Structure 1
Amino acid sequence: MEITQNTALVVVDVQKGFDDAAYWGPRNNPAADGNIASLITAWKDTGRPVVFVRHDSAGPDSPLRAGSAGNAFKDYVEAGRGSGAGPELLVTKSVNSAFYGTPDLHAWLREAGITRIVLAGIQTNMCVETTARMAGNLGYDVLFALDATHTFDLAGPDGLHLTADELSRATAVSLHGGGFARVVTTAALTAAART
């Protein structure tokens, strides 16, 4: 795998509020935080562009609501912000897709000549997947670091319930099989970024 110098890492919603197990329920992939941190370090060390996306929830009871402690980035993400020589952008949003945030992510990527992005963050099947689908529709070459994401169990209609692992597998199949993104590993990405 080749990672060009202008391949952007987009880190979606890695916020403290997602550590509220009582609110979100069971999660998967305990290695996600370590993998996300590894990607941030590799991108920062090599001067590549990094986009940090923060969800500012309008829900009054949401752990991610604007102004709350849970709205803040996790400590390892905050430590990575402002470091390294590459370009950096902070996008805030209140919906699923990072392309509907402020400032305009698509405009920033296009102005920088960026055509490939790597996606990581929380939740696998929600904001990270939605951003991947939209990026694919906009013509970006999308690499989806599945092991650098996690999600939570979810209930659907008529008693249907899927575990976080089932939802992650469904996301991987939908994105990769549907041509929206290539599902890859953190190890492959970091190795390629450092060569």
Structure 2
Amino acid sequence: MSSTKLNNLALILIDIQKGFDDIAYWGGDRNNVTAEQKAGELLGIWRAKNLPIFHVQHCSSNPNSILNETSPGNEFQDVVKPLEGETVIKKNVNSAFIGTNLKELLDTAKIENLVIVGLTTDHCVSTTTRMAGNFGYSVYLVSDATATFNKKGINGEDFSAEIIHQTALASLNEEFAQVVTSAFIQQIV
């Protein structure tokens, strides 16, 4: 894969919210404990270069959800907290494109290349990545700036967070996105 500098490049930070700090709530195990830090490092680069940034916030319509707007868990984590003037996209489904103006904002700004980071790899990150690829954007999904939680299989199997993460990335790579590292992204920005 070439490390040529890219133009028309936006950073999309998906659901990096305080509610995901409650590992027990989400299953009890998590991978990539430095994912938010890596996302924050990329955000710092984007800010320094004055590049387009889109913060996506999951606002669950379930009043009992840790990600409901009335819950402290809905807040962005401090490491990626939006600055005044940065775009915040609020959603209540898995895709950042459904029920939002994200595509319109990207198209108006003539964005062609997306760098996606966030939580969780197999849910909102995957769904947004798939739609972005289907919409024709060149998508770079950052493996070390995404993370997920363990899952129970349909037959009661225990699947580790790392297995869930790796299989989600494998399903997306070369089909909807190029799965890359944060170090790679730093070379092309």
How high is the TM-score relative to the length of structure 1?
0.91
The letter for the 2-side match of 1:174 is S
Structure 2 residues not aligned, in runs of 5+: none
Deviation at 1:59, TM superposition (A): 1.8
Map residues 114-133 of structure 1 onto 2, 5 A cutoff: 114-133=111-130
Distance 1:2 1:101 in 2: 34
Corresponding residue number in structure 2 for 1:12: 14
Q: Does 1:182 align with 2:182?
A: no
Deviation at 1:101, TM superposition (A): 3.8
Instruction: Give CA deviations for 1:78-135 in whole Å, capped at 9, x if unaligned.
Output: 1x5237xxxx421000000000143x11111111111110000000111001100000
Q: Percent identity?
A: 41
Deviation at 1:160, TM superposition (A): 2.9
Structure 1 residues not aligned, in runs of 5+: none
Decide which structure has greater helix share. Answer: 1
Distance 2:182 2:9 in 1: 15
Distance 2:99 2:39 in 1: 21
Corresponding residue number in structure 1 for 2:187: 191
The letter for the 2-side match of 1:94 is N
Aligned-residue CA RMSD (Å): 1.4
Cα gap change, 1:159 to 1:148, in 2 (>3 Å): same
How high is the TM-score relative to the length of structure 2?
0.93
Report the number of matched residues. 186
Q: Is the 8 A contact 2:46 2:52 kept in 1?
A: yes
Distance 1:60 1:72 in 2: 15
Q: Which secondary structure state, in structure 2, belongs to the residue aligned with residue 187 of structure 1?
A: helix
Distance 1:139 1:58 in 2: 30
Map residues 1-195 of structure 1 onto 2, 5 A cutoff: 1-24=3-26, 25-78=28-81, 80-82=82-84, 88-102=86-100, 104-177=101-174, 179-193=175-189
The letter for the 2-side match of 1:22 is A
Q: Is the 8 A contact 2:121 2:169 kept in 1?
A: no
